[in-house]
Amino acid sequence: MAAKRIDGKVISAAVLDRCAAEVAALKEKNIEPCLAVILVGEDPASQVYVRNKQRACERIGVRSFTIQLPADTDQQTLLDEVAKLNADPAVHGILCQLPLPRSLDERQLLLAIDPKKDVDAFHPVNVGQITIGSAKLLPCTPAGVMEMLRYEGIEVEGKHCVVLGRSNIVGKPMALLLLQANGTVTICHSRTPNLAAYTRQADILVCAVGKEKLITADMVKPGAVLIDVSINRNAEGKLCGDVDFDPVSEVASAITPVPGGVGPMTIAMLMQNTITAAKQQSGLI
């Protein structure tokens, strides 16, 4: 029997409905959650992402605005913009769309954002809070994966969870969140020999490598749950993930498609982080 498709569009819509209700309740207390986005340069993909975030804000009633800076913006100008947003009590969340132009120092930028307004949860203070299990703001993509598992009633506790990828944005925080949910976690990466020996043990397999058809049906444990985080383009130019979807669907019990799987969840959880940040800064949590 083919695996159940875990529909990120449906789950993200449920999260956004919940967020809209939270925003409405905050507005009754005269708190209007606000997200500020900084966009440097004219990267087309970044512009699409920013537009999608603005649409999500409109849908749930969060105020948002974008600060558009030219590609030749210098580091100090960028840091000055961040400082203004940090100091503005009406702004609850700050997001700088990555990647930045190569002339700019991404690490310095992430350090400059107030951790309480860091809705991407990339600041070292928030990373530390995630590590010790006390974070209020969670990285959007891993948090979205956990939301999908909860929505589908997929139990993490006691399961062997294998994470492919060790990036700071997905792989490492994903492993930490699964660990906090009492999963037994293995992290694999580009230097892991005999990858299939690990993937075949996974009850829950999270793929975040960025390599088309990396995971084939013979590498999957029967009945496993497959979460495909990656977005690649195949030879025909179509979007795909790391998992060879159709054959793996015949082995797995549940699987996320690409597109329409984890992708929509990332923006939904960004909205949740913006609301959480507003609550935290207003002394409600």
Number of Cα atoms under 13 Å in the Cβ half of residue 129:
15
The structure tokens listed for 280 are 């935290």
231 contacts 141 by C-beta, under 8 angstroms: no
Produce one character per residue of 146-166: b if its CB has 16 or more CB atoms within 10 Å, e if not.
bbbbebeebebeebbbbbbbb
Q: Which of 53, 159, 172, 279 is catalytic?
A: 53
* Tokens 């793996």, residue located: 248
Three-state secondary-structure class, residue 206: strand
Catalytic status, residue 120? yes
Catalytic status, residue 84? no
Q: Which of 114, 120, 203, 228 is catalytic?
A: 120
Q: Which of 97, 114, 117, 118 is catalytic?
A: 97
The structure tokens listed for 135 are 């974070």
CA–CA distance, 245 with 255 (Å, rounded to integer): 8
Catalytic status, residue 116? no
Active site positions, annotated = 53, 97, 120
